[in-house]
A and B are shown apart, each in its own frame.
Chain A
Amino acid sequence: MPEVRVKNATKKYGKIIAVDNVSLQIHANEYFCLLGPSGCGKTTLLRLIAGLVEPDKGEIYIENRLVTSVPPEDRGIGFVFQEYALFPHMNVWDNVTYGPRVKAMGKKKSEKLGREMLEMVRLFERFDAFPSELSGGMMQRVALARALAAGSKLLLLDEPLGALDAKIRNDLRYELRKFVKDLELTGIHVTHDQAEAMAISDRIAVMRKGKILQVGTPQELYMHPQHIFVAHFIGESDFLEGYVSKITKKESIIELRGRLFVHTLDKTHEEGDKVVIAIRPEVLTVEKGKKRRENSILGHVEGFRFEGTNVRCQIELENGDSVVVVRPALMTEWFNIGEKVTVSFPAEKSFVFTYPERGLKRELALE
């Protein structure tokens, strides 16, 4: 049950800085996710930990051992590749027992491990099938069994569910977590799917452009995003631009476009600062007609969609800004397009960020 530490690791590919001075600590026995948009350097960071690429700078420790220049075969890791990389010229059995064999564990032990792992992923009866004869979900489970049979306690997974159907993906992700927990491993799981990361992680590191923006439990990231990109990427957020117009003892009042004023509990800005308020769509309330509420803004309905569990309203505010409101379908009035409504939100449920230097759009862009 190793702990992993990455210290100031940097990896460049030509001009691209794939991993930019990253430091990170992953606890023993933890199920940890590296989450971020495509191209942010998740895979590169994982491969640095695995030893498949060498950092230009920085150090990597596994179980307090400096492994920066240790080759992958001596790091005691298991790695599950996105496309599984099952050896096409070997059957399931030979794939799964490859690790024990090349580690010269002995025939008896190899067979015992192979059998155990294949039984665990419920594929023992397919031991003589070749990878090309298996479905995506089966290949994924063989890849997992193979990584686990090598006997390592640190499991690295690069988008292990990325190539699967939505339904199987949902089933398998809980299974992955269960294996890691049951076998007392440490798991590092790379994904660009925030719902997947939220569902299974103990902690998540959100990455963008080679940097880690925030590390925390799913709740922490959702409830207390420390970076506007995190508020955007984890769950959903509505953004309203404005200026801090007044700071009182309890709250700060923010002027939005069109001389609208709202209250927030923000303490980190000064009067005159340009800021962005982020609000979760499910925190917003919509009511028909004109109502007087805390932080209320008038608007009209632009779009209304039924999505099963929720309904989603697109609302254009009176100042021209636009927000999305998501409400549980069974507990909400239904609206007609064009209908006049009042939108409101509680002050304590909003986050205030400094307006990004590069502009809001570019700051939130995924690439």
Chain B
Amino acid sequence: MAHFSITRFLDSASSKSSVRYALYLSAITFFFALILIPPILGIFLKWNTMAETFQHPSLMSRATAAIYASFAIAIFVSIIDVVAGLPAAWLISRERYRWLNVLDTFVDIPFIIPTATLGYSLLLFWSSPEGISSLFGDSFVSPGWLLVILLHFAFSYPVVVRVMVGAILDYKREYEEAARTLGAPPFTADRTITLPILKRSLIASFTLAFARSISETGATMMVAGAFENGPIFIHNLKTAQELGYEGALVFVSFILIAISCLIFVTIRLLGPRLKMPIKKVWLSTERKLSGSKVTNLRNGLSLLVFFLLILIPSLFVALPAVYAIINGTLNEAVAGVGNWQGYWQSLILSYSVGAIATLINTIIGLPMAILIARKRLGTVFSSILDVLVNIPLIVPSIALGVSLSIFWKNFTTIPEMGLLILAHLAITYPYLVRSMAAAIERLNVSFEEASRTLGGRPFTVFRTIILPLTKYSLFSGAIMVFTRSISETGATLAVTELETAPVLLVKWVNILRGNIESPIPITSLDVGLGCGILIVFSFIILLVSRLLARRKGRY
């Protein structure tokens, strides 16, 4: 009964426009005060420390090299992602084999398992004696830039495939069929009709892959060796605390954030104007390219790339995890012996922070999603919000963390746990808002109008129409927030000494490789099992979300 009257109260309150505007205003205030401003403004507070850094030429040259490496890798990897991911997406969405369903699920794996785990798995596969290196004697790919590229490819490729599969499935196939009936062979129809129509999604997938690569820290640390990109450089500085390090930190963070935003805005503005060469047709070549031989070759290559470069390396860590179960490490782990007590603590910390971030972001993100999707405050303002909301996505997370912690420590004595949550809030916010805004935009306005004409008040409409029809997007958005939070490493390292699960795993790997001293030794089985447990949890989340997404009435 109490619940009933609360909803009644909210329903009738929502009829007042003052209440609605107060809600929207607070959503916007939260966004600016918690999500957008601190991660950017923080570095400006330490702006003058930069002057000192310019006195240290060696530090400066390291810094510029690291920044260059970050962008070079991000751009290179995103291009490769699109080149390799597009045929795979095509295969998944167009061919009609049963096993493609399985493949479709597997594609999400590198996306959903925490990147630190992924990093360790790749390290094992490519450069440890247990992995592919055993075939070659020596370490096949040693830690360094090549391994970083392989890693970034592995975790950003699923983004492209996921986005493109969705886009191809949504695409009205009639356009392509019309092209065929007009005489275009399949390849020509795809090149001149389908791809240009899907251009927006292609650009979006490229941007997302780019953002993932530019901001990843935890896994990169495991495979980087002596190589430094922006995030690694920042981390190394923080650990070493060399002379002038603070200025260098501010400098690199600033440049990374500034250039990322610049690239993002450029893509936003120029992307839609990008022209593809669709006028010219090379009939005989394109006929050959349409043939079944070429198509089979393309599909085969896509599968090969997927299994050899993505799936097997990503899941390779399962091997030591299984050993660990057999030889009794699992019992130690369950008993919490030695290092394992810390492991469980970090796991609890990770999942708690993830849950809190998910909850808060859902509450403050929903009104924002409605604002953006329904353009409640005018088209221009909504488009500006739409761009701003994406910024935490493209800002390198460690830079975001550095800035955020400078900002808050400057004003308050905030506990580390608070900083940790704030950092995770900022990083994961875009996932929920993007997913919900897109879902609400797809929802036909006439449903809402029908409900209004039948006497529904604004909140009633939200409760009875919008929410039920978009709940799967809400759910998948929440899952994304949660998994992203679980796998977050960079910002966590920047803002706190508290150890979340991926931070702990990074430390373990460093102990294992002799980079850090530790009273209690770590075995590779420990790390394998630690990763394995995280992966199992991720699998459960993936499975649940898949089951729910498969239900009917999905929006």
Contacts and interface: CB of A to CB of B under 8 A. Distances in A.
A104 B283 contact: yes
Contacts of A88: 175, 197
A73 B178 CA distance: 10
Nearest to A101: B281
A72 B175 CA distance: 14
B279 interface: yes
Given A71-B185, A146-B182, 18 more contacts: A50-B181, A72-B180, A79-B177, A83-B174, A85-B172, A85-B175, A87-B179, A87-B193, A87-B197, A89-B196, A94-B279, A98-B184, A99-B183, A101-B279, A102-B185, A103-B182, A103-B183, A156-B181
A149 B281 CA distance: 17
Most buried by B among A98, A147, A150: A98
A71 B179 CA distance: 12
A81 B173 CA distance: 11
A66 interface: no
A90 to B, nearest CB: 8
A104 B188 CA distance: 12
Contact of B178 (A51, A75, A79, A94): A79
Contact of B181 (A73, A83, A89): A73
Given A87-B193, A88-B197, A101-B281, A73 B177 contact: no
A287 B68 CA distance: 96
A170 B322 CA distance: 73
Nearest to A81: B174
Contacts of A103: 182-183, 283
Interface string B181-199: 1111110100011001101
Interface string A38-61: 000000000000111000000000
Contacts of B278: 89-90
Interface residues of A, number: 28
Given A101-B279, A104-B283, A85 B174 contact: yes
A88 B278 CA distance: 13
Contact of B182 (A52, A71, A98, A156): A98
A276 interface: no
Nearest to A105: B183
B281 to A, nearest CB: 5
Interface of A: 50-52, 71-73, 75, 77-79, 81, 83, 85, 87-90, 94, 98-99, 101-104, 146-147, 150, 156
A87 B185 contact: no
A72 B181 CA distance: 5
Interface residues of B, number: 23
A79 B281 contact: no
Contacts of B283: 102-104
A297 B240 CA distance: 107
Contacts of B188: 102
B192 A72 contact: no
Contacts of A98: 179, 182, 184, 192
B281 A147 contact: no
Most buried by B among A73, A78, A88, A150: A73
B199 to A, nearest CB: 8
B180 A52 contact: yes
A24 to B, nearest CB: 20
Contacts of A156: 181
Contacts of A52: 177, 180-181
Interface string B156-186: 0000000000000000101101111111111
Most buried by A among B184, B196, B281: B184
B180 A99 contact: no
A83 B184 CA distance: 20
Contacts of B177: 52, 72, 79, 81, 85
Contacts of B178: 79, 81, 85, 87, 146
A73 B188 CA distance: 11
B197 A147 contact: no
A103 B180 CA distance: 11
Nearest to A104: B283
25 contacts: A51-B180, A71-B186, A73-B180, A73-B182, A73-B183, A73-B184, A78-B181, A79-B177, A79-B181, A81-B177, A87-B178, A87-B179, A89-B197, A90-B278, A98-B179, A98-B184, A98-B192, A99-B182, A101-B279, A102-B183, A103-B183, A103-B283, A104-B281, A146-B182, A156-B181
Nearest to B282: A104
Given A88-B197, A102-B283, A77 B192 contact: no
B124 to A, nearest CB: 45
Contacts of B175: 85, 87-88
Contacts of B185: 71, 73, 102
B181 A102 contact: no
A147 B174 contact: no
A87 B279 CA distance: 13
B180 A71 contact: yes
A150 B281 CA distance: 15
A292 B457 CA distance: 66
Nearest to A94: B279
Contacts of A104: 281, 283
Contacts of B184: 73, 98, 102
A156 B281 CA distance: 25
A362 to B, nearest CB: 29
Most buried by A among B172, B174, B179, B183: B183
Contacts of A50: 181
A211 B225 CA distance: 70
B172 to A, nearest CB: 7
A72 B180 CA distance: 6
Contacts of B186: 71
A363 to B, nearest CB: 33
A124 to B, nearest CB: 19
Contacts of A102: 179, 182-185, 188, 192, 281, 283
Interface in B257-279: 278-279
B137 to A, nearest CB: 51
Nearest to A96: B182
Contacts of B179: 87, 98, 102
B174 A150 contact: no
Lowest 8 CB-CB distances: which A-B pairs, in order?
A: A79-B181, A99-B182, A85-B174, A102-B184, A85-B178, A103-B183, A104-B283, A72-B180
Most buried by A among B180, B188, B279: B180
Contacts of A78: 181-182
Contacts of B193: 87
B141 to A, nearest CB: 42
A65 B152 CA distance: 53
A147 B182 contact: yes
A98 B192 CA distance: 10
A52 B175 CA distance: 12
A150 B182 contact: yes
A72 B290 CA distance: 13
B378 to A, nearest CB: 23
Given A83-B174, A89-B197, A102-B192, A77 B181 contact: yes
Nearest to B176: A85
B375 to A, nearest CB: 19
Nearest to B185: A73
A87 B188 CA distance: 14
Contacts of B196: 89
Contacts of B281: 101-102, 104
B275 to A, nearest CB: 10
